[in-house]
Amino acid sequence: MAKSRSYTSTPRTRKSALTTFGSRTDIGCVRDHNEDSLIVAPPLFVVADGMGGHAAGEVASEIAVSVLEQQAPAHPDSEQLERAVEEANREVILAQHDGRGREGMGTTVTAAMLEGERLVIAQVGDSRAYLLHHGRLQQLTRDHSLMADMIEAGQLTPEEARFHPNRSVITRALGSDPLMRPDIFEINVEAGDRLLICSDGLSGMLRDPEIETTLRRVHDPQRCASQLVNEAIAAGGHDNVTVIVADVVGHSHKKLKRVKLKARLTVFFILLLFAAIIAGAAWGGYTYLNSRAYLSAVDGKVAIYTGVPGSVMGISFSELDRVTDVSVDDLQPGTAYRLEAGIQVDNLQAAESLVREYESEAAARQAEQADDEAAMDDAANDGETADGEGATAPDTTAATAPTETGATA
């Protein structure tokens, strides 16, 4: 057993924050060095499991991930990713002879590019890629190993292969064949799916149902990756263990942006509609008030107002148009009483028409009063005349009679 172990995890972007991806690599409980290498540089995720012993396997895996980091496309592209893996294979072979490594060294590679809802994988060796889809785990890649060939041929069961003495024999790797070509997988994924890339240090220690349970249970990708490594070590840790967990965001962020934009537009249009309603109500009220009119009394005179009588919270809804010459005292008592509360009419024209009626009514009353006064004056004059004639008659007769009598005699 190794005297000391070290591991490397993806650093968290901020404390207690959920990340969309996480990783961890550990030497395990048996090996004295770690031959695994990895890349966590979205959209590129790579696990390489080196072979060839000390100062060889780790060199091969490091060369592979270095080439892939430089040669991989910026976005998922199966042809470009395939060419990048083939270039990594040529570089590993070259390194066997230029002093960077040892002859016979090699490495597995599982390289995945995940962007939106598109996943492209290039596979060589027995490192694996899994997808947790709707809570169910499925292996996406096929192992290039003797055990996988024997299982497909019906010579072994998966459970027997876990303990077979030749379980570490692989049939394809980087560094062994200049004409090597990787398997390419193009997969459509959905938001909410979870991608797992791992070396055989995990899949050889844990059964798929156990991996599935942890992937479903631990929601934070970084903690999930660490938990899977811990479980592999607890199960024996017979090999280096490397795990990458990446959550599929898909187009959910774009959908979220659209939803937020739609919500903002909805709020904007609601506010705009509300403002339009208020403006329409204000305009309608203004138009209504300016179309209405009423008559009231001002300093004993009939006055015309636009709007309607009364006020709310000190706000008046009327404006004085003009004060007429019609005196309230010249109107009928009932009309004068109604003027105190305001006599409402449809418009200014109706108000002016009503004022003209009042003017006619006042003029008629004034004329009637003038006629009555004239009649009273005539009656008084007639009475005085009648009294004067009654007093003069007797005096004339009395004066005349003696004169006539004396003349006769």
Could you say which DSSP state residue 190 is in?
Answer: -
* pLDDT value of position 74: 95
Return d(Cα 197, Cα 139) in angstroms, integer: 10
Token pair 């100062």: residue: 55
* pLDDT value of position 258: 67
* pLDDT value of position 52: 80
* pLDDT value of position 12: 38
**Which residues, in sequence order, are bridge partners of residue 46?**
39, 111
The identity of residue 165, as a single letter, is: P
Return d(Cα 310, Cα 345) in angstroms, integer: 15
* pLDDT value of position 2: 40
Nearest to residue 305, comparing CAs of 292, 319, 291, 289?
A: 319
Q: How far is CA 253 from CA 134, 218, 259, in A?
A: 19, 22, 10
Local structure of 249: helix, strand or coil: coil
Structure tokens at 372: 């009555």
* pLDDT value of position 28: 94
Rg (CA), the chain: 55
**284-327 pLDDT tens trace:** 766 766 678 888 888 888 888 888 787 777 777 787 888 888 88
- Torsion (CA) 289, 292, 297, 299 in degrees, nearest 10: 50
Phi first, then psi: give them for residue 196, nearest 5 degrees.
Answer: -125, 125
pTM: 0.62
Residues of the chain with pLDDT under 50: 1-6, 11-18, 396-409
How many C-beta neighbours within 10 Å does residue 352 have? Answer: 16
* pLDDT value of position 79: 97
Three-state SS annotation for 323-353: EEEEEHHHCCHHHHHHHHHCEEECCHHHHHH
Phi first, then psi: give them for residue 323, nearest 5 degrees.
Answer: -105, 125
